[in-house]
């Protein structure tokens, strides 16, 4: 199976490489997916010709105009480049025959294709150009051009997102949430509207029995596996309605077909529904066995290396499936990511998550059975001497110390830092991390902290006291209480710790 998977990934990367060097490559709005492919023919540093191509294009106006973005959208549901086209005589449509056979597709294939392409192009283009704009290894003019392109596109993208709040198309809207929430650069520019879309559908799911249901023919009132999977991962990433995630995840996990693929009601498994479901389970459910789904994807790859649903999405879909195949069998902690808390659940001073959503996150960890059974490590941190420092130096200096502390915690890869209040914090390791992973990360951190404090305020000691322990994800509430009691005892034992602080495992040695 591994050989088949590796061969499928190689075919996909070769196909994307062919697209990157095709004569009409720039006509495809998803060419950036080829730029992103690890072995594509064109490197990220060679984007200047594409930037010039985009700048030379005239913008169109109006919500339905395919040229409202400089990268444009495909015409008549067709691929943007001949490099992705089907062989002559092949069927042009490959998914959800109930929907594709509906009158709306026959009446306006361009509008139908753009329903699919709008979220994909937004996520792909914003993600790619955001990375280019932030890449300090690139020439300053390239970075500036990338940023200007996004500045121009942002209000147009906001209009698109705002138009989806009517919730008339649950599949398309949750598809957009799934894609956009997975691109940090897109979230950076469109965060408020992405979070608003999550709120809209999270609240709808609560009213609809914890699932997403269709709003129109042919899926009116049907529970949609596709949209439920898309919403679940979007909500988790946004830290929004996390208590809804377990029911969505269980519904998706229970709906897998014997073939290893997923389908909406009355349909055969299709590649988009399967990708959304498999992406959710690989990232949230450590009990998910990806083997049958890997085989399904390998079987449904075209000989030319592409994966295809409708047609115009082919470069993105091929890159996305290939990327999923690469990570699907990695250890669960490498696939798992903590959510980004919404702004109202973040501490104003440090930017860290607050206790506002911690209980809900713990509910998710406990409610997904295989996730709740995993071990998790948590550390409780307080700052010895902070109160006295704040009194001597003033609140502005004290706030600067807390802000520096928050930034240092955010730099700890894979750890979720939570501000409890004052100078007290909880640090959560990923479920399934090996024993001592958080404590090991804090060893270099606390020595670096001592150096940072010495540089910031010579002669002042504001030292970390840390207690840590390990439990299962389902028992986090009990573990939090135990750590709270243990930090009190450590404060009595070490009223004035050294500059690098002290760290102790509950029940262990200093």
- Please report, for the chain, the start and end positions of each structural domain, with discontinuous segments joined by +: 2-335, 343-505
Tell me the average pLDDT across 124-146: 93
**What value does the mean pLDDT take over residues 349-374?**
86
What pLDDT, on the 0 to 100 scale, is given for residue 74?
A: 76
For residues 76 and 111, what is the distance between their CA atoms, to the nearest angstrom? 8
DSSP-derived letter for residue 433 is P
Per-residue pLDDT band for 259 (boundaries 50, 70, 90) equals very high
Q: Please, what CATH class does the domain formed by 2-335 belong to?
A: mainly alpha
CB contact burial 445-472 (16+ within 10 A = b; e otherwise): bbeebbeebeeebeebbbbbbbbbbbbb
Residue 248 pLDDT exceeds 90: yes
Q: Please check the confidence at residue 344 and state whether its pLDDT lies above 90.
A: no
Mean pLDDT of 420-443: 94
* Residue linked to tokens 């984007």: 47
Question: Is the whole-model pTM more than 0.75?
Answer: yes
Query: Under CATH, which number does the domain 343-505 receive?
Result: 3.30.70.270
Q: Is 104's pLDDT higher than 70?
A: no
pLDDT for position 105: 67
Burial classification of residue 243, based on how many CB atoms lie within 10 Å of its CB (0-12 exposed, 13-18 middle, 19 or more buried): middle
Alpha carbon distance 393, 409 (integer Å):
23
Q: Is the pLDDT of residue 327 over 50?
A: yes
Question: Is residue 189 classed exposed, middle or buried when 0-12, 13-18 and 19+ CB atoms within 10 A define those classes?
Answer: buried
Question: Nearest to residue 383, comparing CAs of 419, 426, 424?
Answer: 424
pLDDT of 41 > 50? The answer is: no
């Amino acid at each position: 199976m591994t050989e088949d998977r590796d061969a499928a990934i190689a075919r996909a990367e070769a196909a994307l490489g062919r697209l990157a060097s095709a004569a009409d490559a720039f006509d495809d709005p998803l060419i950036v997916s080829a730029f992103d492919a690890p072995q594509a023919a064109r490197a990220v540093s060679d984007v200047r010709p594409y930037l010039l191509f985009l700048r030379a294009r005239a913008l169109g106006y109006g919500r339905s105009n395919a040229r409202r973005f400089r990268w444009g959208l495909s015409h008549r549901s067709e691929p943007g480049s001949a490099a992705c086209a089907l062989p002559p005589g092949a069927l042009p449509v490959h998914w959800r025959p109930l929907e594709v056979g509906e009158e709306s597709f026959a009446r306006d294939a361009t509008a139908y294709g753009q329903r699919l392409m709008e979220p994909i192009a937004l996520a792909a283009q914003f993600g790619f150009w955001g990375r280019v704009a932030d890449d300090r290894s690139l020439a300053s003019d390239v970075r500036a051009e990338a940023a200007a392109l996004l500045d121009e596109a942002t209000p147009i993208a906001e209009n698109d997102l705002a138009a989806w709040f009517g919730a008339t198309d649950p599949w398309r809207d949750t598809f957009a949430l799934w894609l956009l929430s997975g691109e940090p650069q897109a979230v950076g520019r469109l965060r408020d509207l992405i979070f608003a879309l999550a709120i809209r559908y999270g609240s709808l799911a609560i009213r609809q029995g914890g699932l997403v249901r269709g709003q129109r023919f042919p899926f009116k009132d049907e529970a949609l596996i596709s949209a439920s999977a898309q919403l679940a991962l979007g909500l988790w990433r946004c830290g929004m309605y996390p208590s809804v995630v377990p029911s969505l995840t269980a519904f998706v996990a229970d709906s897998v077909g014997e073939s290893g693929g997923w389908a909406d009601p009355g349909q055969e498994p299709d590649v988009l529904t399967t990708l959304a479901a498999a992406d959710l389970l690989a990232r949230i459910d450590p009990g998910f066995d990806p083997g049958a789904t890997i085989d399904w994807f390998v079987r449904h790859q075209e000989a030319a290396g592409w994966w295809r649903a409708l047609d115009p999405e082919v470069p993105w879909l091929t890159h996305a499936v290939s990327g999923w195949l690469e990570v699907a069998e990695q250890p669960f902690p490498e696939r798992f990511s903590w959510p980004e808390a919404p702004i109202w659940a973040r501490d104003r001073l440090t930017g860290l998550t607050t206790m506002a959503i911690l209980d809900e996150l713990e509910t998710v960890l406990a409610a997904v059975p295989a996730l709740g059974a995993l071990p998790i490590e948590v550390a409780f941190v307080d700052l010895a001497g902070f109160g006295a420092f704040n009194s001597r130096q003033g609140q502005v200096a004290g706030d600067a110390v807390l802000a520096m502390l928050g930034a240092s915690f955010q730099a700890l890869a894979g750890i979720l830092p939570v501000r409890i209040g004052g100078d007290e914090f909880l640090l959560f390791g990923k479920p399934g991390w090996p024993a001592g992973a958080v404590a090991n990360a804090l060893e270099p951190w606390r020595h670096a902290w001592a150096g940072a404090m010495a540089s910031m305020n010579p002669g002042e000691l504001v030292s970390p006291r840390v207690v840590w322990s390990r439990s299962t994800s389902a028992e986090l509430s009990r573990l939090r209480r135990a750590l709270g009691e243990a930090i009190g005892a450590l404060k009595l034992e070490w009223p004035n710790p050294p500059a690098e602080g002290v760290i102790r495992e509950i029940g262990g040695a200093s």
